Amino acid sequence: MSTGSTPSRTFTLASRASDLAQAQTNGVRDTLAAKHPTKSFATSFMSTGGDANKTQPLYLVGGKAFWTKELEVALQENAVDVLVHCFKDVPTTLPEGCEIAGVLERPDPVDVLIVKKGAPEAWRTLEDLPEGSVVGTSSVRRVAQLKRRYPGLVFKDLRGNLDSRLSKLDAPDSPFTAIVLAKAGMVRLGWGDRIASDLGPPTLLYAVSQGALALEIRADDVATRELCRSITHWQTEWSCYAERALLRVLEGGCSVPVGVHTSLVDETPEGAKEGERKARLAITGCVTSLGGDRHIEHTIEAEVRAVEEAEAVGVRLAKLLIDTGAKEILDEINADREKKVELAKVTDEKVDV
């Protein structure tokens, strides 16, 4: 059991090997080192199933564990101490013996539009794009919501790391006019100048926990938990846990069109202790059919005094969505996905023969 630390212990932070993941992990390492100058920190980077398979649509390759499984094996085997995740890629249920010990402050979580290099300067928003323009994204959430508002655009699957997606967009023979990405990743890599426009609510509600970084540890590692808690932004933590509770009840994954928008206003009295925090939480959630023709959206606002109360608000919102039509949409999406998975299995077997 890793229940304490010694003067010689080095805390190893690990993540995927993409440029974005490395930049995020190095940033967390530097934040911890500045907060704890007497501690030693190292980094480790590895490939996951999500990095190896960049061609199949996400609904064919499993849930969010597709991005985290190899990392969690290393964590459980004591090879590393902290996993630095994009929180939106973390399953709402973790492996036994693992826990989220910290959540860093979230920047603007909205999606953004990136237009092909050399495109007319006037093409700054989705409204500006000519009818029939091809917009790339791997997210069914984005496609479902955007089809509602932009039926004249064509949405095509596009996977890969940020740099490879930008390269595919800008290639001379690219079919894409534009792509949609999360703003936080573009900014973290210093590519904010490529952003043509933000795609925030009401146009597009973002993914659960989008933009936030989560720190996963072994549940018995007290020393590492203390380090992670020291850099946790509780407002982001409460907001993300409300969003994740919503998704958990809806039984959604990375390929389910569930969108959210959350605001949390700190109303803690001056001089209050940590256990006396108070905030005003407002969370909007939506479920959209794949064709964009049906859209269920609701908002709940409540005063919360603990992360558990924030989660309870997310659960309430999920049940409200389910009771007003979201269940039928999700059942149809799941049934459609199962058919496609079975078809892919049959196709693979024929190819293997």
Q: What share of the chain is helix, strand, coil (3-state, %, to 5)?
A: 40, 25, 35
Strand pairing report for 40-46 and 295-304:
unpaired
CA 126, 132, 137, 138: dihedral to nearest 10 degrees? Answer: 150
CB 234 within 8 A of CB 278: no
Active site residue 193: no
Distance in angstroms (rounded) separating the CA atoms of residues 229 and 104: 9
Q: Which tokens sit at 174? A: 């690219």
DSSP state for residue 138 in the 8-state scheme: S
CB 262 within 8 A of CB 284: yes
Of 281, 328, 290, 286, the closest CA to residue 309 belongs to 281
Distance in angstroms (rounded) separating the CA atoms of residues 11 and 179: 38
Residues 184, 44, 255, 116: is their CA dihedral positive or negative? positive
Query: Which residue in 19, 30, 81, 89 is the catalytic one?
Result: 89
Task: Find tokens 């919501």 and name the residue.
Answer: 145
Of 178, 186, 165, 193, the closest CA to residue 125 belongs to 178
| Active site residues per annotation | 89
